[in-house]
Amino acid sequence: MSPNQLTITQALDKLRKNEFSSVELTQACLDRIEQTDTKLKAFITVTKDEALKVAKNADEIYQKQPEKINDYPLLGVPVSIKDLYSTKGILTSAGSNILKNYIPPYDATVVKKLKNAGAVIIGKTNLDAFAHGSSTEASDFFTTLNPWNLEYLPGGSSGGSAASVISDQTIFSIGTETGGSIRQPAAWCGIVGLKPTYGRVSRYGVIAMASSLDSPGPMCKTVEDTAIVLNVLAGHDPLDSTSSSVPLVDYTAALNQNLKGLTIGYCEKYLNKPVQPAVAQAIRDALKTFSGLGANIKTIELMDPKYAVAVYTVLQRAEVSSNLARYDGIRYGHSVLRNKKYQPEDIIDVYNETRAAGFGEEAKRRIMLGTYTLSAGYYDAYYLKAQKARTKICRDFEKAFDKVNLIVGPTSPSTAQKVGARNKNPMFGEMEDILVEPSTIAGLPGINLPCGFGNNLPIGLQIIGPQFKENKIIQAAYAYEQATDWHKKRPKIASVAG
């Protein structure tokens, strides 16, 4: 087995035993990127020289300062990072033309924590521009392809991250989720993706999409790896006013705990159309597995997820219109303006030209709809009503969690869609995220893990828990993972080289 095919746990074990070096591990990932990314297009930027430099420093610690190894929980392990995180001295484009030349002067808190843990940043991954989408087809640069079948999409917006993990271009990745952007691409690519409780992981330095929803999180090959990374990322950040101070737990302590006494709920509404029959059957089979592991299975009632689509659309568009207002041609200029001379009185022209040239069609649609819902005369009819409905969704989950410990269902109603699917439906993202949007609206933690195949493409199972109960989610996810082999499946993509 090539080093790049390993999990975090396996890689750390072999690094500590001196079976290979971090430089060799990092080079194996870089070689894999070179072999496969011409077709997959998972990366916007590959940081080869910097990655090898950091890997060499990690090897120095392994060889000369072994007493310090435990101070670095990810020492020498390569990671790819969604290109929505500020990375000091490294291009941070958000997949958009308007930021295609932006080099941040600082690191996001998540990036800083990864560096402090000894991780090796191997590159920045592709996404729908400003995270506006569920396929990467809305990237201003290119579309990432699904490693299981190059005619299909990887999901999004963290599609580049998901593709880089399942194709073994990296050991793990970091994504963000606003309405499904970690769990849905994790489902379509067949990996583990965790969306933490809102506020559990700092948003500082993450280019904002919808500030009341955005949640950074890990995308890994196994549940155990996810727990290891969450231990690094979670915690209060004084630089993020929405960061929670709820006490932390050791998430790896939830591994290997049995499910006896745990009650898992499921809702039939989450298994009806438009859910594909193969997806619904895979979830029912998973429920049988949970029951066999000792969990109590209980049917529950939840609001129809279609209501969450309406709520999410209004709230997310409103926050997008506010967050994208900062790209005015003054602080962040589009490249078409760099060689032009403007007078102070031309500031409106700069503003209009920058936004017209820099924003793609999806961003413009969301800005216009968000501005409309916030405008005088429509605020009460749309935005305020959506906020009230959001509260009802939160209360609905609270009632459910009075009866069960966790909720299980499909992550996406379908397996991966074909390239071009988004072009046929302006609400493509919302419909593919319909089953995860309710929980993200409520700020709840959720995890995706592979649970089967349909049409030779992965099917994703999601487990949702109460706020700050990531440990319970990890407990159930790990037990299911250990009882099945789905997480061991890998696509055969050697033929895509060149």
Q: Which three-class secondary structure state does DSSP give residue 77? A: coil
Q: Are 133 and 422 a contacting pair, CB within 8 Å?
A: yes
CATH code, 249: 3.90.1300.10
Comparing CA positions, the residue from 23, 100, 9, 64 lying closest to residue 327 is 100
Whether 231 is covered by a domain: the verdict is yes
Whether 375 is covered by a domain: the verdict is no
Comparing CA positions, the residue from 172, 212, 179 lying closest to residue 195 is 179
Whether 92 is covered by a domain: the verdict is yes
Comparing CA positions, the residue from 127, 196, 113, 195 lying closest to residue 155 is 127
Q: Are 31 and 494 a contacting pair, CB within 8 Å?
A: no
Instruction: Classify residue 417 by its DSSP letter.
Output: P
Q: Tell me which residue has tokens 């991966």.
A: 416
Handedness of CA 77, 82, 88, 92 (dihedral sign): positive
- Total domains in the fold of the chain: 1
Residue 230, token pair as written in the block: 């969450």
* Chain-centre distance for alpha carbon 381: 32
Whether 118 is covered by a domain: the verdict is yes
Peptide bond between residue 3 and the one before it cis (omega within 30 degrees of 0): no
Q: Which residues contact 278 (CB under 8 A, 6 or more apart)?
A: 415, 452, 454, 455, 459
* Chain-centre distance for alpha carbon 155: 10
Q: Are 244 and 197 a contacting pair, CB within 8 Å?
A: yes
Instruction: Classify residue 201 by its DSSP letter.
Output: B
Domain that holds residue 154: 3-257+463-496
Kindly give the pairing relationship between strand 215-220 and strand 172-177: antiparallel
d(CA 48, CA 124): 11
Rg (CA), the chain: 22
pLDDT at 495: 45
Comparing CA positions, the residue from 11, 95, 4, 79 lying closest to residue 47 is 79
pLDDT at 351: 60
Comparing CA positions, the residue from 334, 379, 338, 326 lying closest to residue 356 is 334
DSSP-derived secondary structure for 152-178? B---SSTHHHHHHHHTTSSSEEEEEES
Beta-bridged to residue 120, according to DSSP, are: 78
DSSP-derived secondary structure for 298-336? EE-----THHHHHHHHHHHHHHHHHHGGG-SSSSS--GG
Whether 285 is covered by a domain: the verdict is no
Handedness of CA 27, 205, 190, 492 (dihedral sign): negative
- The residues annotated as belonging to the active site are 82, 157, 181
Whether 218 is covered by a domain: the verdict is yes
Residue 92, token pair as written in the block: 């941070």
pLDDT at 329: 66
d(CA 5, CA 11): 9
Residue 323, token pair as written in the block: 């967050």
d(CA 223, CA 219): 9
d(CA 399, CA 303): 11
Kindly give the pairing relationship between strand 43-46 and strand 120-125: antiparallel
User: Which ranges in 334-421 belong to alpha helices (H)?
Assistant: 347-358, 361-374, 385-401
Whether 134 is covered by a domain: the verdict is yes
Whether 138 is covered by a domain: the verdict is yes
Q: What does each of the 498 residues of the chain score in pLDDT, given as a tens digit?
A: 899 999 999 999 999 999 999 999 999 999 999 999 999 999 999 999 999 999 999 999 999 999 999 999 999 999 999 999 999 999 999 999 989 989 999 999 999 999 999 999 999 999 999 999 999 999 999 999 999 999 999 999 999 999 999 999 999 999 999 999 999 999 999 999 999 999 999 999 999 999 999 999 999 999 999 999 999 999 999 999 999 999 999 999 999 899 999 999 999 999 998 999 999 999 999 999 999 999 999 999 999 999 999 999 999 999 999 999 888 766 665 544 555 566 666 656 666 666 667 788 888 889 898 998 988 888 888 999 999 999 999 999 999 999 999 999 999 999 999 999 888 777 787 888 999 999 999 999 999 999 999 999 999 999 999 999 999 999 999 999 999 999 999 999 744 444
